A and B are shown apart, each in its own frame.
Chain A
Amino acid sequence: MQFDKELDARGLSCPLPILKTKKALADLTSGQVLKVTATDPGSIKDMQAFANQTGNPLLETSEENKDYVFYLKKK
Chain B
Amino acid sequence: MQPKKMAIIATKGTLDMAYPPLILASTAAAMGFEVQIFFTFYGLQLLRKSLRHIKISPLANPAMPMPVPMPVLLSSLPGMQAMATKMMKQKIKKKGVASLEELRDLCHEAGVKFIACQMTVDLFEFKKADFIEGIEFGGAATFLEFAGNTDICLFI
- Count A-side interface residues using an 8 Å CB cutoff: 15
Residue B26 interfacial (CB < 8 Å): yes
The B interface is mostly helix, strand or loop, or mixed, namely loop
Other contacts beyond A12-B98, A22-B110, A50-B30: 14, CB < 8 A: A11-B96, A13-B97, A13-B98, A14-B23, A15-B23, A15-B26, A15-B30, A16-B97, A18-B27, A18-B30, A19-B26, A22-B30, A50-B31, A53-B32
Please give me the residue from chain A that is nearest to B23 by CB atom.
A15
What interface size band does chain B fall in?
Answer: 10 to 19
B-to-A contact residues, CB < 8 Å: 23, 26-27, 30-32, 95-98, 106, 110
Please name all residues of chain A whose beta carbon is closer than 8 Å to the beta carbon of B110 when the two chains form the complex: 19, 22
Which residue in A16, A21, A49, A53 is a CB contact (below 8 Å) of B98?
A16
Q: Give A67 Cβ to nearest chain B Cβ, in Å.
A: 14
